[in-house]
A and B are shown apart, each in its own frame.
Chain A
């Protein structure tokens, strides 16, 4: 990120190379846009160069030669590749991802309508991951080599080795099919109207309108997918928090704080934890990526009508445009998450990046 491309204007150059938050934000922004453009180029090239004949695929097996040619022209596949790419960029800049090759609906609108479901799921999983993972990591470090620590290690080893789609099925088998405690899938049962849209997140919207029955139902539907999604991510967070705490355990400042008789809960949960979290927080970006990726598979298993479900359906239908659009969106979301993580890191570690 350090390859300065400062403009000829001294001022611009100073802004680009200088210290401070403005420079940081500017470089981050420019770099983010460039990365998204790169992702688009790579996926675009892959999806337009590799398949033998995308038009033939879209047209179907029974299409005549003329029909295929007509479709090729209609889809613009007969134009030079770079023209197609430039055209895609131009439309992307306006938020237009093109139309689905099958439903002809605008892809942006499709994705937008499915975004809240994915946000609700990944956010819930993130909260569960961090909310449980950090305290478990801390306790595991404080009681290292006790039965608790061994149990936690067993669970984290499992979390990193279990196939999430399989865990999803086993949980469905146990809690939905066998015990019947929780629903098998989807956000709400058919027949239950979703709460009026404010944020698009059913849990929050139902609370905002005071509809506690819907809240309960939505929460029950959210439970299994969230747990499935959070389990492997939690393993990562626990591991890093534990390692960070063990690293901090014998630091002189901890000995000093104890020697001055500060309350133990303050030493552990304020002074040590913040130091341990400086390494954990760098993992949160990766974990968020894992959650996003995992959501693709998990949503398919739980019929969760989010981005991943949409992507899997598009895959089944060989809808290049939709898959490309989905990939671009994920790239953008992922980059935004990483910026948030950077900000978080700066908040936790005020010494600045060094």
Chain B
């Protein structure tokens, strides 16, 4: 599978009142064309930071990219001018599905106004139209293009199963249900015909029954269009359902990456295996991981999981383990199943 996006050794710090938060500590991750990658981890592990870094919307000046590269279609997103990213990449080649569609849709504008504004600037037709000398807020929306974009929006609303698309366009966000709002932001992520969608826990705000519906819809539409997707979640079950591959993060470090079936069959990182054990099982026994998630202001040296790890040795406390394994990558000096030498 050809690589669409490759994050390499990304280091991101936040400057907070209490000190420097080492949010990402040399994270690497790759997404192939048409692949759905689940980025799994507990809250605060750096999933959202990584998602924002790829989109180029890390908060300034609070955050700082110390090192690394994000390769996307021949560009390094970290060195590209931010105006360039905003114009050419963000919202066009990489789009975004937010966690909270209620807060993420502007409460004072109708769905139609917001979708049309998006299409004005981000539809594939906008790319061909070239740039105007006017500030965007004063720029005119050519009526022919507007009509085409409007038709595309209505088609898309049909595809994401919004009943009465015409009526939905005239509504304000608070007049729609939670599930409908989620369908709207999914539609908005698909409309620019992107190569990659970053979905940031897109179903957490929903009821469980609707969650499943939306996930199926998202998976179907993404696969049908062969769009790649980075799907962050703290829920392993969700990852199991829709992801081709899973990347696990712990406290700002990536610890394991593997195709979904291999991952669930035989996790190799001690943290991951504990995480799987902590899932409620049919016998009702759920095991906690002893210890607490470390502070990212003064994180442990080496592998950040070592204070909680049963297998930890001295080397774990000094330097981060290198990448090992082929398709099933693990960053651990003592990976599970290593004695047999078989990488699932």
Contact = CB atoms under 8 A, between A and B. Distances in A.
Interface of A: 251-253, 255-266, 268-271, 274-275, 278, 348-351
Q: Which 5 A-B pairs have the closest CB atoms?
A: A261-B91, A261-B90, A263-B136, A252-B103, A256-B104
Given A256-B96, A259-B98, A261-B85, 14 more contacts: A251-B103, A252-B100, A252-B104, A253-B105, A255-B104, A256-B104, A256-B105, A257-B106, A261-B122, A262-B91, A262-B117, A263-B136, A274-B108, A348-B108
Contacts of B108: 274-275, 278, 348-351
Q: Which of A256, A266, A350 has the most CB of B within 10 A?
A: A256
A195 B87 CA distance: 52
A252 B98 contact: yes
Given A253-B103, A261-B91, A270-B137, A351 B172 contact: yes
A350 B96 contact: no
Contact of A265 (B95, B122, B135): B135
Q: Which of B52, B108, B109, B185 has the most CB of A within 10 A?
A: B108
A146 B95 CA distance: 33
21 contacts: A252-B104, A253-B106, A256-B185, A259-B55, A260-B95, A260-B118, A261-B86, A261-B87, A261-B92, A262-B91, A262-B117, A262-B118, A264-B86, A266-B121, A268-B137, A271-B109, A278-B108, A349-B108, A350-B110, A350-B172, A351-B174
B261 interface: no
Nearest to B88: A261
B43 to A, nearest CB: 16
Nearest to B192: A260
Contacts of A259: 52, 55, 57, 90-91, 96, 98
B23 interface: no
A256 B98 contact: yes
Interface residues of B, number: 33
Nearest to A268: B137
Interface string B92-124: 100110101001111111100000011001100
B123 to A, nearest CB: 12
A268 B136 CA distance: 11
A141 B250 CA distance: 37
B321 to A, nearest CB: 33
Nearest to B87: A261
Contacts of A270: 117, 137
A257 B114 CA distance: 9
Contacts of B96: 256, 259-260
B106 A260 contact: no
Contacts of A278: 108
Interface string B273-288: 0000000000000000
Contact of B137 (A253, A260, A266): A266
B106 A275 contact: yes
Interface in B315-342: none
Nearest to A253: B106
Contacts of A271: 106, 109
A257 B96 CA distance: 10
B188 A260 contact: yes
Contact of A269 (B57, B85, B137): B137
Given A259-B55, A351-B174, A265 B137 contact: yes
A354 to B, nearest CB: 10
A263 B57 CA distance: 13
A266 B91 CA distance: 14
A256 B121 CA distance: 15
Contacts of A265: 135-137
Contacts of A252: 98, 100, 103-104
Contacts of A255: 57, 98, 104
Contacts of A351: 107-108, 172, 174
Contact of B89 (A257, A261, A269): A261
A263 B103 contact: no
Contacts of A262: 91, 117-118, 121-122, 136
Contacts of A257: 106
Contacts of A350: 108, 110, 172
Contacts of A268: 137
A256 to B, nearest CB: 4
Contacts of B106: 253, 257, 271, 275
A260 B91 contact: yes
Contact of B107 (A258, A264, A269, A275): A275
A99 B123 CA distance: 68
A263 B121 contact: yes
B86 A266 contact: no
Nearest to B89: A261
B57 A253 contact: no
A236 to B, nearest CB: 22
A274 B117 CA distance: 15
Nearest to A252: B103
A255 B117 CA distance: 16
Contact of A263 (B92, B100, B137): B137
Contacts of B103: 251-253
Interface string B183-212: 001001000000000000000000000000
A271 B136 CA distance: 12
A123 B121 CA distance: 37
Given A260-B188, A265-B135, A265-B136, A253 B107 contact: yes
Contact of A258 (B57, B95, B188): B57
A345 B342 CA distance: 68
